[in-house]
Amino acid sequence: MQPDSRKYLYDIQDACRKLEDFTRARTLDDYLTNEMLRAAVERQFEIIGEALNQLNRIDSALVASIPDVRRIIAFRNILIHGYATIRQDTVWGVVQTDLPILTKHIGKLL
C-alpha cells in the first residue's frame, strides 16, 4: 500500500469515527430537527466520498476492494450537487445501516 493511500484511509476512518460520535444516542427525529447535526453528518460523508475519489486515482485496486464504493462516491455527489433533493431519512438510514460496514472494512485495510 502506498503511503498516500494510508492518508486517505485514515481520513475515511476519522470521518467514520466523527459520524459515529455525532449520531450516538440520537434518533431520526433528533437528526431531522437539528440543522447543525445534519450539516455535520453530510460534511463527513462528503469527506469520505472525496477521499475515496482521490484514493481511486492512486490505488484503484485498493478502492475496488471496498464494498459499495461506487455507491458511496455517488452518495457524496448527491450530497454536494443534488443537495436540494436530499431525503434526510435516507441519509439517516445510511448512518444506521451502511456506516458500520464501511467503518469495519476500513479498519481491516489499515
Whether 105 sits among the annotated catalytic residues: the reply is no
Q: Which three cell numbers stand for residue 96?
A: 444506521
Q: Which residues contact 53 (CB under 8 A, 6 or more apart)?
A: 73, 76
The catalytic position among 6, 17, 26, 76 is 76
The catalytic position among 6, 81, 87, 105 is 81
Q: Which residues contact 97 (CB under 8 A, 6 or more apart)?
A: none
Whether 76 sits among the annotated catalytic residues: the reply is yes
Among all residues, which ones are annotated catalytic?
76, 81
